[in-house]
Amino acid sequence: MYDGSGRFVMVICLTGLNNRNVVTIQCKAREMIAKVKTSKVFNGRIYAKSRPNSCVADVANSVDFEIKMAYHDLNCDVKQENFGEFSNDIVIQHHDMIVTNQDLGLSVHCQYDLSNRSVSHGVQLEINGEVDAAGTQSATVSSPNVTMMITDRLGNDITAAQVGDALALRFEIIDPNSPYEIFVRELVAMDGIDNSEILLIDSLGCPTDVSIMGSLSKAGNSGKTLLAPFEAFKFPTSDIVQFKALVTPCLPNCEPVDCSVKAHGQSRDFSSMGRRKRRGTAPYGMGNVGRVAEKDDMVVVQTIQITDKFGFEKQDKMSHKRGRDDITEELKKESTCVNLVGLIVASSMFLVAQLLLILAWAILWQRRRRSKLDDDSTTHSTRSFASQYFMNRRH
Protein backbone atom coordinates (compact mmCIF):
# COMPACT_ATOMS: atom_id res chain seq x y z
CA MET A 1 0.00 0.00 0.00
CA TYR A 2 1.05 3.62 -0.48
CA ASP A 3 1.37 5.58 2.76
CA GLY A 4 1.25 9.05 1.18
CA SER A 5 4.85 9.96 2.02
CA GLY A 6 6.62 8.69 -1.05
CA ARG A 7 6.90 5.15 0.23
CA PHE A 8 5.26 1.89 -0.65
CA VAL A 9 4.68 -0.26 2.41
CA MET A 10 3.85 -3.96 2.64
CA VAL A 11 2.76 -5.39 5.99
CA ILE A 12 3.09 -9.14 6.66
CA CYS A 13 1.92 -10.98 9.77
CA LEU A 14 4.10 -13.95 10.71
CA THR A 15 4.18 -16.60 13.39
CA GLY A 16 7.72 -17.81 12.77
CA LEU A 17 9.28 -16.26 15.88
CA ASN A 18 7.30 -18.26 18.44
CA ASN A 19 4.53 -15.65 18.53
CA ARG A 20 2.60 -13.32 16.29
CA ASN A 21 4.91 -10.84 14.65
CA VAL A 22 4.57 -8.13 12.06
CA VAL A 23 7.11 -7.57 9.29
CA THR A 24 6.83 -4.35 7.31
CA ILE A 25 8.64 -3.89 3.99
CA GLN A 26 9.17 -0.28 2.93
CA CYS A 27 10.22 0.32 -0.68
CA LYS A 28 11.89 3.72 -0.79
CA ALA A 29 13.59 5.53 -3.63
CA ARG A 30 17.08 4.31 -2.81
CA GLU A 31 16.62 1.46 -0.37
CA MET A 32 14.33 -1.18 1.02
CA ILE A 33 13.73 -1.44 4.76
CA ALA A 34 12.51 -4.56 6.55
CA LYS A 35 10.97 -3.66 9.93
CA VAL A 36 10.07 -6.35 12.44
CA LYS A 37 7.76 -5.96 15.42
CA THR A 38 7.66 -8.91 17.80
CA SER A 39 5.30 -9.72 20.66
CA LYS A 40 8.21 -10.77 22.89
CA VAL A 41 11.64 -9.33 23.57
CA PHE A 42 14.04 -10.49 20.87
CA ASN A 43 17.79 -11.03 21.09
CA GLY A 44 19.72 -11.98 17.98
CA ARG A 45 20.43 -10.52 14.60
CA ILE A 46 18.82 -9.78 11.26
CA TYR A 47 20.95 -9.91 8.14
CA ALA A 48 21.05 -10.37 4.38
CA LYS A 49 21.47 -14.06 3.67
CA SER A 50 24.20 -13.60 1.06
CA ARG A 51 26.09 -11.01 3.17
CA PRO A 52 25.79 -12.14 6.80
CA ASN A 53 28.90 -10.25 7.88
CA SER A 54 28.64 -6.98 5.99
CA CYS A 55 24.86 -6.39 5.97
CA VAL A 56 23.65 -7.13 9.49
CA ALA A 57 21.85 -5.49 12.38
CA ASP A 58 22.43 -6.83 15.90
CA VAL A 59 19.37 -6.79 18.16
CA ALA A 60 19.49 -6.76 21.97
CA ASN A 61 16.39 -6.77 24.19
CA SER A 62 14.10 -5.17 21.65
CA VAL A 63 10.65 -5.76 20.19
CA ASP A 64 11.17 -3.35 17.26
CA PHE A 65 14.13 -3.68 14.93
CA GLU A 66 14.91 -3.18 11.26
CA ILE A 67 17.51 -3.62 8.56
CA LYS A 68 18.15 -1.13 5.77
CA MET A 69 19.39 -2.41 2.43
CA ALA A 70 20.33 0.29 -0.04
CA TYR A 71 19.97 -0.70 -3.69
CA HIS A 72 23.46 0.56 -4.47
CA ASP A 73 25.15 -0.65 -1.30
CA LEU A 74 27.58 -3.33 -2.38
CA ASN A 75 27.69 -4.71 1.15
CA CYS A 76 24.05 -5.80 1.13
CA ASP A 77 24.04 -7.40 -2.33
CA VAL A 78 20.51 -6.35 -3.27
CA LYS A 79 19.77 -8.04 -6.56
CA GLN A 80 18.26 -6.17 -9.48
CA GLU A 81 16.27 -8.86 -11.27
CA ASN A 82 14.87 -6.55 -13.94
CA PHE A 83 14.88 -2.83 -14.45
CA GLY A 84 12.99 -1.37 -11.49
CA GLU A 85 12.76 -4.73 -9.66
CA PHE A 86 14.87 -5.39 -6.57
CA SER A 87 14.93 -8.33 -4.21
CA ASN A 88 16.93 -9.79 -1.36
CA ASP A 89 16.74 -12.62 1.16
CA ILE A 90 16.94 -11.85 4.86
CA VAL A 91 17.28 -14.06 7.93
CA ILE A 92 15.95 -13.32 11.40
CA GLN A 93 18.28 -15.31 13.66
CA HIS A 94 17.97 -15.85 17.42
CA HIS A 95 21.52 -16.97 18.13
CA ASP A 96 24.56 -14.79 17.42
CA MET A 97 26.59 -17.57 15.83
CA ILE A 98 24.39 -20.39 14.54
CA VAL A 99 21.11 -20.89 12.69
CA THR A 100 18.43 -22.94 14.44
CA ASN A 101 14.97 -24.17 13.54
CA GLN A 102 13.50 -21.20 15.41
CA ASP A 103 14.90 -18.76 12.90
CA LEU A 104 13.00 -17.30 9.98
CA GLY A 105 13.97 -16.56 6.40
CA LEU A 106 12.16 -14.06 4.19
CA SER A 107 12.43 -13.05 0.56
CA VAL A 108 11.64 -9.36 0.12
CA HIS A 109 10.86 -7.64 -3.18
CA CYS A 110 10.35 -4.08 -4.34
CA GLN A 111 9.12 -3.19 -7.82
CA TYR A 112 8.96 0.24 -9.41
CA ASP A 113 7.36 1.39 -12.64
CA LEU A 114 10.28 3.11 -14.38
CA SER A 115 9.54 2.26 -17.96
CA ASN A 116 9.73 5.93 -19.02
CA ARG A 117 10.92 9.12 -17.38
CA SER A 118 10.14 12.70 -18.20
CA VAL A 119 13.23 14.89 -18.19
CA SER A 120 12.37 18.60 -18.09
CA HIS A 121 14.26 21.82 -17.53
CA GLY A 122 12.66 25.22 -17.01
CA VAL A 123 13.98 28.78 -17.16
CA GLN A 124 11.99 31.55 -15.54
CA LEU A 125 12.01 34.76 -17.66
CA GLU A 126 10.97 38.03 -16.07
CA ILE A 127 10.91 41.50 -17.71
CA ASN A 128 10.52 44.33 -15.19
CA GLY A 129 7.39 42.75 -13.76
CA GLU A 130 5.40 43.49 -16.91
CA VAL A 131 5.35 40.10 -18.54
CA ASP A 132 5.69 36.81 -16.71
CA ALA A 133 6.82 34.15 -19.16
CA ALA A 134 8.24 30.72 -18.68
CA GLY A 135 10.10 28.85 -21.36
CA THR A 136 10.04 25.11 -20.84
CA GLN A 137 11.48 22.35 -22.92
CA SER A 138 10.71 18.74 -22.06
CA ALA A 139 11.44 15.38 -23.54
CA THR A 140 10.42 11.87 -22.63
CA VAL A 141 13.43 9.62 -22.73
CA SER A 142 13.49 5.88 -22.11
CA SER A 143 15.72 4.93 -19.23
CA PRO A 144 18.88 3.20 -20.45
CA ASN A 145 19.40 -0.50 -19.97
CA VAL A 146 23.04 -1.07 -19.06
CA THR A 147 24.90 -4.37 -19.05
CA MET A 148 28.33 -5.42 -17.81
CA MET A 149 30.12 -8.22 -19.62
CA ILE A 150 33.50 -9.87 -19.16
CA THR A 151 35.34 -10.24 -22.45
CA ASP A 152 38.72 -11.08 -23.84
CA ARG A 153 40.72 -8.35 -25.53
CA LEU A 154 39.04 -9.25 -28.86
CA GLY A 155 35.62 -8.45 -27.39
CA ASN A 156 34.35 -12.04 -27.10
CA ASP A 157 32.22 -12.81 -24.05
CA ILE A 158 33.75 -15.40 -21.72
CA THR A 159 32.67 -17.18 -18.55
CA ALA A 160 35.96 -18.83 -17.52
CA ALA A 161 39.63 -17.92 -17.67
CA GLN A 162 43.02 -18.53 -16.08
CA VAL A 163 45.02 -16.20 -13.90
CA GLY A 164 46.98 -13.76 -16.05
CA ASP A 165 44.66 -13.88 -19.08
CA ALA A 166 44.11 -10.49 -20.72
CA LEU A 167 40.46 -9.57 -20.12
CA ALA A 168 38.24 -6.49 -20.01
CA LEU A 169 35.04 -5.35 -18.32
CA ARG A 170 32.61 -3.95 -20.87
CA PHE A 171 29.87 -1.56 -19.71
CA GLU A 172 27.37 -0.85 -22.45
CA ILE A 173 24.01 0.78 -23.07
CA ILE A 174 22.07 -1.76 -25.10
CA ASP A 175 20.02 0.75 -27.09
CA PRO A 176 22.38 2.43 -29.60
CA ASN A 177 19.90 5.30 -30.05
CA SER A 178 19.78 6.19 -26.38
CA PRO A 179 20.75 9.84 -25.69
CA TYR A 180 22.53 8.83 -22.48
CA GLU A 181 26.16 8.21 -21.77
CA ILE A 182 27.38 6.38 -18.69
CA PHE A 183 30.03 6.62 -16.01
CA VAL A 184 31.17 3.92 -13.62
CA ARG A 185 32.30 4.07 -10.01
CA GLU A 186 32.69 1.87 -6.95
CA LEU A 187 33.65 -1.24 -8.90
CA VAL A 188 34.27 -4.07 -6.44
CA ALA A 189 35.53 -7.62 -6.96
CA MET A 190 34.32 -10.26 -4.48
CA ASP A 191 35.06 -13.92 -3.99
CA GLY A 192 31.40 -14.92 -4.07
CA ILE A 193 31.29 -16.32 -0.53
CA ASP A 194 31.34 -13.08 1.47
CA ASN A 195 34.90 -13.54 2.71
CA SER A 196 37.06 -11.26 0.58
CA GLU A 197 36.60 -8.22 -1.62
CA ILE A 198 38.76 -5.56 -3.23
CA LEU A 199 37.89 -2.07 -4.48
CA LEU A 200 39.02 -1.66 -8.09
CA ILE A 201 37.37 1.67 -9.08
CA ASP A 202 36.78 4.18 -6.28
CA SER A 203 33.85 6.53 -5.68
CA LEU A 204 35.35 9.11 -8.05
CA GLY A 205 35.77 6.64 -10.89
CA CYS A 206 39.54 6.24 -10.60
CA PRO A 207 41.28 2.87 -10.47
CA THR A 208 42.78 2.11 -7.07
CA ASP A 209 45.60 -0.04 -8.43
CA VAL A 210 46.41 0.19 -12.12
CA SER A 211 48.42 -3.02 -11.90
CA ILE A 212 45.14 -4.87 -11.29
CA MET A 213 42.53 -2.79 -13.13
CA GLY A 214 43.16 -0.12 -15.73
CA SER A 215 41.23 3.11 -16.20
CA LEU A 216 37.86 3.27 -17.93
CA SER A 217 37.93 4.38 -21.53
CA LYS A 218 35.42 4.77 -24.32
CA ALA A 219 35.09 2.06 -26.92
CA GLY A 220 35.66 4.09 -30.05
CA ASN A 221 34.20 7.55 -29.65
CA SER A 222 30.95 6.46 -28.03
CA GLY A 223 30.28 7.19 -24.39
CA LYS A 224 27.65 4.45 -24.44
CA THR A 225 30.33 1.76 -24.09
CA LEU A 226 33.18 1.79 -21.58
CA LEU A 227 36.05 -0.65 -21.26
CA ALA A 228 38.27 -1.40 -18.28
CA PRO A 229 41.21 -3.71 -19.09
CA PHE A 230 42.61 -6.09 -16.50
CA GLU A 231 44.49 -9.32 -16.15
CA ALA A 232 42.52 -12.22 -14.73
CA PHE A 233 42.96 -12.73 -10.99
CA LYS A 234 41.30 -14.79 -8.28
CA PHE A 235 40.95 -14.99 -4.53
CA PRO A 236 42.67 -17.78 -2.59
CA THR A 237 39.36 -18.93 -1.12
CA SER A 238 37.39 -19.42 -4.34
CA ASP A 239 37.61 -19.79 -8.11
CA ILE A 240 34.57 -17.52 -8.49
CA VAL A 241 35.15 -13.80 -8.94
CA GLN A 242 32.11 -11.53 -8.86
CA PHE A 243 32.28 -7.96 -10.15
CA LYS A 244 29.79 -5.38 -8.97
CA ALA A 245 29.65 -1.70 -9.91
CA LEU A 246 27.50 1.41 -9.83
CA VAL A 247 26.62 2.82 -13.24
CA THR A 248 25.01 6.23 -13.64
CA PRO A 249 23.61 7.59 -16.91
CA CYS A 250 24.12 11.23 -17.72
CA LEU A 251 22.77 13.68 -20.31
CA PRO A 252 23.97 14.65 -22.79
CA ASN A 253 27.42 13.25 -22.10
CA CYS A 254 29.91 12.44 -19.36
CA GLU A 255 33.30 14.02 -18.91
CA PRO A 256 36.35 12.08 -17.71
CA VAL A 257 37.83 12.42 -14.27
CA ASP A 258 41.49 13.26 -13.72
CA CYS A 259 43.21 10.54 -11.70
CA SER A 260 46.62 10.39 -10.10
CA VAL A 261 48.20 7.13 -9.03
CA LYS A 262 51.57 6.54 -7.40
CA ALA A 263 53.47 3.50 -8.62
CA HIS A 264 57.10 2.58 -8.04
CA GLY A 265 57.73 5.88 -6.30
CA GLN A 266 56.43 7.94 -9.23
CA SER A 267 53.13 9.75 -9.71
CA ARG A 268 51.15 9.08 -12.84
CA ASP A 269 48.27 11.23 -14.09
CA PHE A 270 45.61 9.94 -16.46
CA SER A 271 41.92 10.27 -17.28
CA SER A 272 39.16 7.78 -16.60
CA MET A 273 35.55 7.77 -17.75
CA GLY A 274 34.24 7.63 -14.24
CA ARG A 275 32.72 11.01 -13.50
CA ARG A 276 29.43 12.48 -14.66
CA LYS A 277 28.89 16.05 -15.74
CA ARG A 278 28.40 18.70 -13.13
CA ARG A 279 24.85 19.30 -12.13
CA GLY A 280 23.23 22.34 -13.60
CA THR A 281 19.94 23.84 -14.63
CA ALA A 282 20.40 24.19 -18.36
CA PRO A 283 17.62 22.69 -20.51
CA TYR A 284 18.22 19.41 -22.23
CA GLY A 285 19.90 20.10 -25.54
CA MET A 286 21.19 23.49 -24.41
CA GLY A 287 24.82 23.67 -23.41
CA ASN A 288 27.13 20.89 -22.31
CA VAL A 289 25.91 20.39 -18.77
CA GLY A 290 23.83 17.34 -17.94
CA ARG A 291 21.83 16.74 -14.80
CA VAL A 292 21.32 13.34 -13.26
CA ALA A 293 20.14 12.52 -9.77
CA GLU A 294 21.83 9.88 -7.68
CA LYS A 295 18.67 7.80 -7.64
CA ASP A 296 19.41 6.98 -11.28
CA ASP A 297 22.38 4.85 -10.25
CA MET A 298 22.16 1.25 -11.38
CA VAL A 299 23.89 -1.82 -9.99
CA VAL A 300 25.41 -4.23 -12.49
CA VAL A 301 26.84 -7.61 -11.56
CA GLN A 302 28.82 -10.20 -13.49
CA THR A 303 30.56 -13.42 -12.45
CA ILE A 304 33.43 -15.39 -13.93
CA GLN A 305 35.29 -18.56 -12.97
CA ILE A 306 39.05 -18.11 -12.86
CA THR A 307 41.49 -20.92 -12.15
CA ASP A 308 45.12 -20.56 -11.17
CA LYS A 309 48.12 -21.77 -13.17
CA PHE A 310 49.94 -23.46 -10.34
CA GLY A 311 48.89 -26.83 -11.68
CA PHE A 312 48.48 -28.40 -8.26
CA GLU A 313 45.52 -30.45 -9.36
CA LYS A 314 47.28 -31.51 -12.54
CA GLN A 315 50.42 -32.37 -10.60
CA ASP A 316 48.34 -34.35 -8.14
CA LYS A 317 46.75 -36.23 -10.99
CA MET A 318 50.15 -36.86 -12.60
CA SER A 319 51.61 -37.95 -9.26
CA HIS A 320 48.62 -40.19 -8.72
CA LYS A 321 49.01 -41.61 -12.18
CA ARG A 322 52.75 -42.09 -11.68
CA GLY A 323 52.02 -43.73 -8.35
CA ARG A 324 49.57 -46.09 -9.98
CA ASP A 325 52.06 -46.82 -12.75
CA ASP A 326 54.78 -47.49 -10.17
CA ILE A 327 52.47 -49.80 -8.25
CA THR A 328 51.54 -51.58 -11.46
CA GLU A 329 55.20 -51.91 -12.37
CA GLU A 330 56.04 -53.25 -8.93
CA LEU A 331 53.15 -55.67 -9.17
CA LYS A 332 54.43 -56.80 -12.55
CA LYS A 333 57.93 -57.26 -11.13
CA GLU A 334 56.58 -59.08 -8.13
CA SER A 335 54.40 -61.18 -10.40
CA THR A 336 57.44 -61.98 -12.55
CA CYS A 337 59.46 -62.93 -9.49
CA VAL A 338 56.61 -65.01 -8.16
CA ASN A 339 56.25 -66.78 -11.50
CA LEU A 340 60.01 -67.49 -11.69
CA VAL A 341 60.13 -68.83 -8.14
CA GLY A 342 57.08 -70.96 -8.81
CA LEU A 343 58.68 -72.34 -11.94
CA ILE A 344 61.85 -73.22 -10.04
CA VAL A 345 59.91 -74.86 -7.23
CA ALA A 346 57.75 -76.79 -9.65
CA SER A 347 60.80 -77.96 -11.61
CA SER A 348 62.55 -78.99 -8.42
CA MET A 349 59.52 -80.92 -7.25
CA PHE A 350 59.28 -82.59 -10.66
CA LEU A 351 62.95 -83.60 -10.53
CA VAL A 352 62.57 -84.91 -6.98
CA ALA A 353 59.53 -86.89 -8.05
CA GLN A 354 61.47 -88.32 -10.97
CA LEU A 355 64.36 -89.26 -8.71
CA LEU A 356 61.98 -90.89 -6.26
CA LEU A 357 60.38 -92.86 -9.08
CA ILE A 358 63.78 -93.96 -10.39
CA LEU A 359 64.89 -94.92 -6.89
CA ALA A 360 61.70 -96.86 -6.26
CA TRP A 361 62.05 -98.60 -9.60
CA ALA A 362 65.69 -99.45 -8.85
CA ILE A 363 64.83 -100.89 -5.44
CA LEU A 364 62.03 -102.94 -6.93
CA TRP A 365 64.25 -104.17 -9.74
CA GLN A 366 66.98 -105.07 -7.26
CA ARG A 367 64.52 -107.04 -5.13
CA ARG A 368 63.21 -108.93 -8.14
CA ARG A 369 66.76 -109.74 -9.26
CA ARG A 370 67.69 -111.04 -5.82
CA SER A 371 64.54 -113.13 -5.73
CA LYS A 372 65.31 -114.63 -9.10
CA LEU A 373 68.88 -115.41 -8.10
CA ASP A 374 67.67 -117.12 -4.95
CA ASP A 375 65.22 -119.24 -6.98
CA ASP A 376 67.91 -120.27 -9.43
CA SER A 377 70.29 -121.23 -6.65
CA THR A 378 67.63 -123.39 -4.92
CA THR A 379 66.78 -125.23 -8.15
CA HIS A 380 70.44 -125.95 -8.89
CA SER A 381 71.02 -127.32 -5.40
CA THR A 382 68.02 -129.61 -5.65
CA ARG A 383 69.14 -130.98 -8.99
CA SER A 384 72.69 -131.67 -7.70
CA PHE A 385 71.33 -133.56 -4.68
CA ALA A 386 69.04 -135.73 -6.78
CA SER A 387 71.81 -136.62 -9.20
CA GLN A 388 74.16 -137.64 -6.42
CA TYR A 389 71.44 -139.82 -4.84
CA PHE A 390 70.80 -141.79 -8.01
CA MET A 391 74.49 -142.33 -8.62
CA ASN A 392 75.00 -143.76 -5.15
CA ARG A 393 72.21 -146.30 -5.54
CA ARG A 394 73.71 -147.61 -8.76
CA HIS A 395 76.91 -148.41 -7.07
Contact 71, 79 (CB under 8 A): no
Co-location of 181 and 249 in the same domain? yes
Q: What is the CATH number of the domain that holds 91?
A: 2.60.40
CA 124 centroid distance within chain: 55
Rounded Cα–Cα distance for residues 368 and 362 (Å): 10
The pLDDT assigned to 251 comes to: 80
Q: Looking at 62, 85, 111, which one is the last position of a domain?
A: 111
Whether the CA torsion 288, 291, 296, 298 is positive or negative: it is positive
Same domain, 64 and 186: no
| CA distance to 186, 253, 254, 288, per residue, from 278 (Å) | 18, 11, 9, 10
Q: Do both 183 and 302 map to the same domain? A: yes
Domain assignment present for 315: no
Structural domain count of the chain:
2
Are 236 and 274 within 8 A, CB to CB?
no
Specify if 123 maps to a domain: no
56: enclosing H helix or E strand: strand 51-70
Q: Could you tell me if 227 and 165 lie in one domain?
A: yes
Which of 111, 126, 157 represents a domain boundary (last residue)?
111
Angle at 334 between CA 332 and CA 336, to 5 degrees: 70
**169, 268: one domain:** yes
Residue 276 DSSP one-character state: P
Q: Are residues 101 and 150 located together in one domain of the fold?
A: no
Say if 329 falls within a structural domain.
no
90 plus 157 within the same structural domain: no
Nearest to 243 by CA among 232, 256, 259: 232
Same domain, 189 and 92: no
Q: Residue-wise pLDDT tens for the chain (395 aa)?
A: 444 444 445 555 554 444 567 889 999 888 899 999 998 999 999 999 888 888 999 999 999 999 999 987 778 888 888 877 889 999 998 887 777 777 888 899 998 765 544 444 444 434 444 444 444 444 455 678 899 999 998 889 999 999 889 999 999 998 888 888 898 999 999 887 767 789 999 988 899 988 888 888 888 777 889 999 999 998 877 888 999 999 988 887 888 888 877 665 666 666 776 554 444 433 333 333 333 335 567 889 999 999 877 655 555 555 555 656 666 666 666 556 657 777 888 888 888 888 888 988 888 888 888 877 777 666 666 566 555 655 665 55
pLDDT at 266: 62
Task: Indicate whether 155 and 218 sit together in one domain.
Answer: yes
- Could you tell me if 89 and 169 lie in one domain? no
Do residues 82 and 215 share a domain? no
369 is a domain residue: no
Q: What's residue 136's pLDDT?
A: 42
Report if residue 341 sits inside a domain: no
Residue-level pLDDT at 201: 92
Same domain, 155 and 49: no
Q: Decide if 282 is inside a domain.
A: no
| CA atoms of 386 and 390, how far apart (whole Å) | 6
- Whether 185 is in a domain gets the answer yes
Amino acid residing at 163: V
44 in any annotated domain = yes
Q: What is the DSSP string of 309-333?
A: SS-HHHHHHHHHHHHHHHHHHHHHH
Instruction: Give yes or no for a contact between 275 and 183, defined as CB atoms under 8 angstroms apart.
Output: yes
Q: For the domain that residue 195 is a member of, what is the CATH number?
A: 2.60.40.4100
Structural domain containing residue 56: 2-111
